[in-house]
Amino acid sequence: MHAVQTLDSETLNRWILVYLATIIGEPTDSLDASDLLSEYDLDSIDAVTMAIELQNTFKLRVHPETFMRRTESVYDVVARLV
């Protein structure tokens, strides 16, 4: 069982970047929250898993399609969720 974390934009930005870095096998410091999500080449399984992990971590319901939007950045997603 996951501990629920406090949600603010900085925490969520960091969480998403760390999660993306894990998926793509790159250092977190090489990712930028202003980059478009399309640069990370997520597939539907990645998006569903990420949405589930967000819900488990923050009790935040996010549709997996959120991470498949090719014209949005991490900042854009966070702005909509926080």
**CATH number of the domain to which 45 belongs:** 1.10.1200.10
**pLDDT for residue 4 is more than 60:** no
pLDDT of residue 70: 84
Asked if residue 47 belongs to a domain, the reply is yes
Asked if residue 2 belongs to a domain, the reply is no
Burial of 32 (0-12, 13-18, 19+ CB in 10 A): exposed
**pLDDT for residue 1 is more than 60:** no
- Total domain count, the chain: 1
Q: What is the pLDDT of residues 29-82, one digit of tens each?
A: 999 999 999 999 999 999 999 999 999 999 999 999 999 988 999 999 999 888
CA–CA separation, 53 and 40 (whole Å): 18
Asked if residue 1 belongs to a domain, the reply is no
Q: How far is CA 7 from CA 27, 45, 61, in A?
A: 23, 24, 13
Q: Which amino acid is at 33?
A: A
pLDDT of residue 6: 66
pTM of the model: 0.88
CA–CA separation, 8 and 48 (whole Å): 22
Asked if residue 28 belongs to a domain, the reply is yes
Q: Which domain holds residue 56?
A: 9-81
Q: How far is CA 82 from CA 9, 47, 56, in A?
A: 6, 19, 16
Please, which pLDDT band fits residue 5 given cuts at 50, 70 and 90?
low
Asked if residue 57 belongs to a domain, the reply is yes
Per DSSP, the three-state class of 45 is helix
